[in-house]
Structure 1
Amino acid sequence: MVSGVAGTVAVGIAVNQVLNDDEWNLWALGIAVLIAVSAEAVNQWLGHLDGRDAAGAVTPETVGNAAEALARLVKAQWTTEAAIRALDDPDPMPVRWRLAEAAVMDHPERVSRSRDPDWSGRSDRIDEIAAWLRELERSRLVVLGEPGSGKTTLAVQLVRELLATRETGEPVPVLVSVSGWDTVAQPDVWDWLAERLRLGYPALSAPDFGGHAYRDLTRDRLVLPVLDGLDEIPAPARTAVLKALNASLGTGGLILTCRTREYTRAVTDAVSVLTAAAVIRPEPLSPKAAAAYLTSVLPPVPPPAWQTVLDTLASGGRSPLARVCATPLGLWLVRTTQARPGADPAALADTGRHPTAAALRSHLFDQLIPVLVAARPPTGDPTDLFRPRRRHDPDDVARWLGHLARILARPLTGDGKPRTRDFAWWRLARDTLTPARFRITAVLAACLPVGLAFGISVGLYGTFAIGARAGIVGGLLVALTMMFIAGGAVWLSAADLFRSEPSHADLDLRGRTPLLLTGLARKVALGLPVGLTVSFLSGIPDKIVGGLVLGLTIGVVIGFVEWAEVPAGTGGSGSPLTVWRADRTLNLLRSASVGLVLGLLVGLITGLSIGVPLGLMGGLLLGLTVGFLTALTGEKRAWPGYLIATYRLALDKRLPRRLMPFLDDAHRLGLLRAVGPLYQFRHAEFQDHLAARHDPPSP
C-alpha cells in the first residue's frame, strides 16, 4: 500500500512539473520515481519487521491457547445459533438413532471396542451419544437420514455437548459445510479445513497465536471436523470426498452427515467405506411420539383447536398429518405455524384439504414466512436474537427468498440436485452475472463517478487558472479521458474482482494499542521524508509545514489501515454479517486512505491557484474518486463485487438493495441458518419449495 501511495505522489509531482512547464521537470520525474522505488523498498523492510515482531514464536503453549480460543468461539457461535433455531425449546425432539446396515460401515473391530450391534441413542439424551462417540476407536461417526430427519440438528447437538464436556487438549469440534471442498485443488482435508478456519474464525490469524494458528491446530489434529451436507454435492464429488477423507484423515476423528441413498451410492462408487466410522440412521417418529411432543410444548390444558390434531396422531394411523409429523422438520412446521392466536390446527387433519403428506407439507411451508414475520416484530435492540431490525412485508420476504433459493438451486447438478445449499455473499456476482455482464456493470459503476469528479475538479482549476471556457472544455476532455482509462482498468481487472474472497479489518483497540502505536511510528518515519520531498518539489509555499502535514497524513493513514488488517485474538467468530462488515470496512478504509493522501496533495498544489479551501475540496473529491477506483482495481475486492451484483439484482427486482441486512433479519426470523460465514435456508426442503415456487413458467 505504501508503494501505491508513493506512486500516486510520484505521478502528482511529475504531472505538476510538466503542466507548469518547469525547466527541470525531467529531474522532477526522476526524483519522483526514485521516491516511489525507495518507498517500496523501505516498506518491504518495515513490513518484514512488523511481521517478525507481531507474530510471536509458535510454541505448544500458543497452540494450546489458540485451541482454547477456538473452543470459546465455537461454543459462543452455536449457543447463539441453537437459540435462534429453538433447539432446546423446551427440549430436543426425541429422535431415536440406531446403527445402520453393515454394508455401509467398516469392520466392527475397527469401529468400536464394545462391538455392540444393538446400540441406540436418542437426541434428547445427547450426553449418552457424545460419550459413546468418544469411546469409538477413532471418534468417527456418519449420520444418515432422509430430508428433514434431524441430521444437521444432531451434528449441532454433538458440537455443543462435546464442547461442554471437553477436556484440555481434546480436539475442538468445528461444523463446516462440505460443499465448498474441491478435492482436486486441496486433496488433504486438514489443508482445506485450515482455510475454512481462517475465514470463519479470524482471531486465529492474530499475532497472539503466532499469526497462523488455523494451520497449527489442524497440523496437530486439535480440530474435530464436523462436515455437514455430503449429499448436497454431485455424486462424483461425494465419491472423491470419501476417498480424500480416507487418504488424509490419519487417526483424526470426524462427524459426517449425508442422506442415506447418497451415502450408499458414494460407498458403492468408491468401493470403500469411511474407515473406522460408526454409521447411524434415525427411526421415524411414531404418531404417538409426535403427539406426546406436541403435548409437551402446548399449555398443560391444550386449546380445543389442538385436540383433533392430538387425537389423530394418538390413533396411530397413516394419515398425511402422521406422515408429516414422522420427521423433526414436519413436527417443527406444525408447531411453528399453528401455535399462534387465530390458527386452526384441526384443519391439518382434514384429508379433503390436504390429501397427501406432500400437499400438507407444502401448505405448511407457504404459511411459514407470514407466520414468523407476524410473530416477531422488529426491534432496535441488536442483542434480541429472535426479532429483526426492520419491518418487512411477508410478500417481499417470500419473493426475495424465492429468488435467492432459485439462484442457489439453478442450474441443477448432473444428478438433478440443487447446485448448492450455501449462500456465500462474496460469490453473488459469480453466481448471478455472466463475466461479460459483470464487466459492463462494473465499468459503468466506475466511469460515472470518475468522469464527474475529474470533470468538476479540472474544470474548477481551469476556470480559475485560464478562464471559464477553457476550463469547461479542459474538464470535459479530461473527464472523457479518465473515464476511458478507468473503464479499461476495471474491464481488465474484473476477472479478479469476480473471484475475490473476503478479507478482514478489525478496529477493536482492546489489547492492540501498542501494536497500533508501533505501526504508526514506523509508517510516520517513512511518510515524513516522502512528504517533505513532495513539498519541496511541488511548489507549496510553506514547504516545511506542507511537508509535515502531508508526511504525517501518509504515515498515519497507512499505519492505521495496515494495523486494522491484523485480527484481534479476542475477536468473535465470522458470521455472514460480520465477515461482510469486516470486508466492507477494509475496502472503505483503503479507498479513504488513498483518497485522503491524494486529495491533500492535489488540494495543496491547486490551492495555490484557486484558493486553499476550494483547492482542498476539489482535491478531496478527486482523491476519494481515485480511492473508489482503487477499490475496484486493487486487491481484496469481495465487497465491491458484491456491491455491483446487488445493484444489478435490485434493478431487476430480484433481491433487495440492502441484501445482507435483509438476510440478517431473515436469520433472526428463523427462515435462514448460519454455518460460519455462510447462510443456508432453515431446511433444504424449504429452499426447494421456494425455488419451485419461483421457477419461471414453462413455455
Structure 2
Amino acid sequence: MAVGGGGHKVAWTVATCALVAGAMTYALAGAHGPLGVSDRSGLVSMVVGLPALVLAVVAALWARPGAYEDEEAAVARLAREVRSVGEATWLQRLGGDLTAIDVTFTFRPYANARAAALPPTPQGQLERVVEDYRALRPRRLVITGEPGAGKTVLAWKLVMELNRTRTEHEPVPVLMALADWDEEEQVGDWIARHLERDYGLSLRSARKVVDARMVLPVLDGLDEMDASDTPANRSRARVALEALARHQDGTEPAPLVLTCRTSRYDALEADADHILDAARIEIDAVTAERAVRFLEQRGAARRPAVWQPLLNELRTAPGGAVSRALSTPWRLTLVATVYERDGDPGELPAAASLGETADLLLRRYVDAAVDSVGDAPRGARAEEVHRRLAVLARALDSADGAQTDLSLRNLSGQLGGRRPRNVLRGLVAACSVASLWLLVISDGLDPATVAVTLAAAVLSPAIVLSERLESRFRTAWYVPPLGSPLWRVGIRLTLNGRGPRRWMLVKCGAVALCWTMLVAPRSVGGLGQWATQAPLAPWLLTGAVVLAIWWLDVAAVGPSGWVRGGVVAMTGTACTLLAVYLSWNEQGNALVAVVSLGALALAGCCQWVEYGICLLLTPGLPLRLARFLDWCVVAGLMRASGVTYQFRHREFQEWLVRHPLPVPASVPAD
C-alpha cells in the first residue's frame, strides 16, 4: 500500500526497516553468546514483524481517510460533511429552537463601475438570500451589519441552502473563520488546511478540491482579524482583502462570501481597501413588531403573563431604549434563553442604556444555561462554569487577532504557549538519559534489549526536538463515544469498502492470524511464543479500533473525538509497556526496556501528552475539558463547528474577557 507523497518518506521507511533488520540480524548472530531455540524463534518473528509494524505506522501517519479519493469523491464527501455540520450548527445558532428571525437586508451599491451587477428585483430576506446571491455577477458578496445582527446566521443559511440545491458541477459552500488566517499564507493553502482540520479530508483530497475551484469560501469575521483599535491601513484585514481580490477562477474573479461589522468595513472602504467586483448588503435592525412576534413564539409561549410587560413596552415604544437594545437576533435569542423558564423579563425596561441591557442579560446567561441543562460535570456550579469559560475566552483573546476557534489539538499553543511542549521534551530527555544509564550499569542484557534501548533512546528525542518529525506523529484520530451509532457506520463503511480498505482488512487479518499462531500453545499447533509476542496484543486491539473509525466523517464525530482517540492510543501504549515488563521480567531486562520504550511512547503520543500537560499547567480548567465543553454545547454556551469549539457569540466571549469573575445580576455594571 502506498504511503503517499515524496521519496523522502519511502527512504525513511526503508532506512528504518534496514536498521531494525540489521539489529535483529546482529542479535541472531549470537555476538553475545549462543541463543536458544526459543530465543531465536522469537527474534525471527520480531525481524518479520517489526518492519511490517513500521510500515503500518508510517501508513497511518502519512495516509489519511480519503487519501485515494478522486476529485469527484472528495467533493461529494465534503458536501456531506458540510451538511452534517451545518444542521447541528444551525440549531445551536438559534438557541436550540428551529424558530428563526426572518431578518431583512438591503443592498448598498458601490459608486463605481467595478461593483458586481445586482439582482434585477432583490428579495432582501433570509428565506430568499440564495436567489439574490445566484443573481449576482460575479458571485461575490459582502455581508455587513451591527454586532449580533445575524451576519453569521445569514452566512450559514446561505451555506446550507446552496449546498442543498447545488448541482455536481457547482462548488461546495464552506464557512470558515478568518481569525486564524496568517497573512503570509496563500488563500488556497489556508482553505485546504481548513478542509483538513474542520472536515476531515486528507490534505491531498483537500488540495484536489481547492485546485479544481470546487470550494465556495464563505468567510466569517473579517472584523475579528484585528484588535478594534488597529488602523485600517495597518490591519491584517486589509492584507486579507488584497489576497481575496486576487483570488480567481480561470480569468474571472472567484466566487466568495464575506462577513464583517459595518463600522470596520466602512473604515476599510474609506481607505480604498474593499473588494472590487463585489456586492454589499447591510442587515437591517429587527423591528419591534418582528421582535414581539418572535418572543411570543419563544419565551412568552411558556409564561405569557410574565412576558406581557416587556411585550407591551415594545409595542408602545417601538423606538425606545428597549426596542433598540433588542434590535438584533442575538439579543432576542439571548432574552428568550435567559427568561424562558425563570426570571422576570419585565426588569429590562429599567436598564438605562444598551450596555446595561447587555450586561444584565449576560450575567444571567450562565445561570440560565446551568438551570436548564443541569449541573456541569463533577457538579460544577454556575460560578465555576463562568470562571472556566473566562479562562478560555482570555486565552483566545490573547492570541493573534483574537481567535474564535478553540481546537483541542492546538490547545497548548492557545493556552500555554511553548511551556507544555518544553515540559514534554524534558520528560522524554530524562527517560532517554535514564535508559542509557541503566544500559551502562546493567549486566547480562541480551542483544534484543540493547538494540531496542539504543533505538528508542535516539529516536525519542529526535521526534520531539524536530518540528517536522513531530508533526508526523500528531495524528488525527477522532473516536466516537461508546454506544454511538457512528461505530456501526464506521464498521459498515469498512466492510463495504473497496480498494485500499479491502487490502487493509486482508492485511490486518493476516497479521492477526500470524500473531495467533505465534502465541497459541503447541498442543493446538501454535509456537507458544506468548512471552515475546504479548506486547503486540494491545496494538492489535488498538488497530481494530482505528480500523473501525478510519472512514468516519471527522466533523460528525465532533471536536472531543480527538481526545477519545488519545485515550485509545495511550491505553494501548500503557498495556504494551505492562506486557513488556511481565514478559521480560524473568530475564532481568524489564526496567531497561520499559524506560526506553516509555520515552518512545511519550514521543509517539506527544500530542495527547502535551494536551494533558497543558491542562495541568493551566489553573482553572478541569482535566476532563472535552467533557466540560461538550456539556457547554448542550447548554448553549458554546457551539461545535467541525472539529473546533466556539463561544455562542463573539459578544459573550468579549464579555467574559472583561468579567473573568462572576458578577451577580444585582451589582451595577462596571
TM-score category, normalised to shorter length: 0.7 to 0.9
Q: Is the CA contact (8 Å cut-off) linking 1:42 and 1:526 kept in structure 2?
A: no
Contiguous gaps of at least 5 residues in structure 1: 206-210, 379-387, 467-477, 533-543, 611-617
Deviation at 1:78, TM superposition (A): 1.5
CA contact (8 A) 1:320 1:360 kept: no
Instruction: Provide closer, same or farther for how the CA distance between residues 101 and 252 of structure 1 changes in structure 2, counting only shifts above 3 A.
Output: closer
Q: Against the structure 1 CA distance between its residues 292 and 450, is the aligned structure 2 distance closer, same or farther, given a 3 Å change threshold?
A: farther
Taking structure 1 as reference, are residues 319 and 575 closer, same or farther at Cα in structure 2, changes over 3 Å only?
farther
- 1:86 to partner: Cα distance: 3.0
Secondary structure at the counterpart of residue 256 of structure 1 = strand
The 1-side partners of 2:309 and 2:32 are apart by: 93
Match of 2:113 in 1: 107
**Mapping of residues 50-199 of structure 1, within 5 Å:** 62-86=70-94, 89=97, 91-102=99-110, 107=113, 111-112=116-117, 114=119, 119-123=122-126, 126=127, 128-184=128-184, 186-187=185-186, 189-199=187-197
How far 1:406 sits from its partner (Å)?
1.1
Percent identity for Structure 1 against Structure 2: 25
- Structure 2: which amino acid aligns with 1:645? C
Judge which range, 640-649 or 575-584, deviates more. Answer: 575-584
Q: Could you give the per-residue CA deviations for residues 312-344 of structure 1, whole angstroms, max 9, x where no partner exists?
A: 111235443222101112212221111214x21
Contact 1:489 1:633 in 2 (8 A): yes
CA gap of 1:576–1:49, structure 2 versus 1, over 3 A, is closer
Equivalent pair of 2:554/2:643 in contact (CA under 8 Å): no
Instruction: Give yes or no for contact 1:309–1:346 (8 Å, CA) kept in 2.
Output: yes
Deviations 1:219-272 (A, max 9, x none): 222222111111111263211211111222324321211112222334455x45
Residue among 352, 355, 375 paired with 1:355: 352
Are 1:511 and 2:493 counterparts?
yes
Instruction: Report the CA distance between 1:299 and its aligned residue.
Output: 5.0
The Cα offsets for residues 9-45 of structure 1, whole Å up to 9 and x where unpaired, read as 9879989999x963899xx99x999x87996599669
Cα displacement (A) at 1:545: 2.8
For residues 443-496 of structure 1, the C-alpha deviation after alignment (integer angstroms, 9 at most, x for no partner) is: 3698699989x99x999x99xx99xxxxxxxxxxx9xx99x9799949963967
Partner of 2:465 in structure 1?
A: 493
Whole-angstrom CA distance in 1 between matches of 2:573 and 2:540: 11
1:177-576 paired onto structure 2 within 5 Å: 177-184=177-184, 186-187=185-186, 189-202=187-200, 204-205=201-202, 212-234=204-226, 236-250=235-249, 251-269=253-271, 271-299=272-300, 303-316=304-317, 318-341=319-342, 343-350=343-350, 354-377=351-374, 391-410=379-398, 419-436=402-419, 438-440=421-423, 443=426, 489=461, 493=465, 503-504=476-477, 508-513=490-495, 514-520=502-508, 545=527, 550=532, 554=536, 557=539, 561=543, 564=546, 568-573=550-555, 576=558
Change (3 A) 1:605 1:586: closer
| Alignment-derived partner of residue 540 in structure 1 | none
User: SS state of the match for residue 645, structure 2?
Assistant: strand
1:233 is aligned with what amino acid? M
TM-score (norm 1): 0.72
Read off the aligned partner of 2:217 and give its amino acid letter: P
Map 1:602-641 onto structure 2 (within 5 A).
603-607=582-586, 619=590, 628-634=598-604, 637-641=606-610
Deviation at 1:163, TM superposition (A): 2.3
Q: Is the 8 A contact 1:337 1:371 kept in 2?
A: yes
Q: TM-score, normalised by structure 2?
A: 0.75
In the TM superposition, residue 8 of structure 1 has moved relative to its aligned partner by: 7.9
Change (3 A) 1:14 1:664: farther
Q: CA separation of 1:266/1:676 partners in 2, compared to 1, >3 Å: closer, same or farther?
A: farther
Moved more, 685-694 or 86-95: 86-95
Task: State the number of aligned residues.
Answer: 608
TM-superposed deviation, 1:194: 1.7
Say if 1:510 and 1:345 are closer, same or farther in 2 by CA, change over 3 A. Answer: same
Give yes or no for contact 2:95–2:636 (8 Å, CA) kept in 1: no
Q: Which runs of 5+ in 2 are unaligned?
A: 1-12, 480-486, 496-501, 520-525, 663-670
Question: In the alignment, residue 222 of structure 1 is paired with which amino acid?
Answer: M
| Amino acid of the structure 1 residue aligned with 2:33 | D
- Is residue 143–residue 279 contact of structure 1 (8 Å, CA) maintained in 2? yes
1:692, CA displacement in angstroms?
0.6
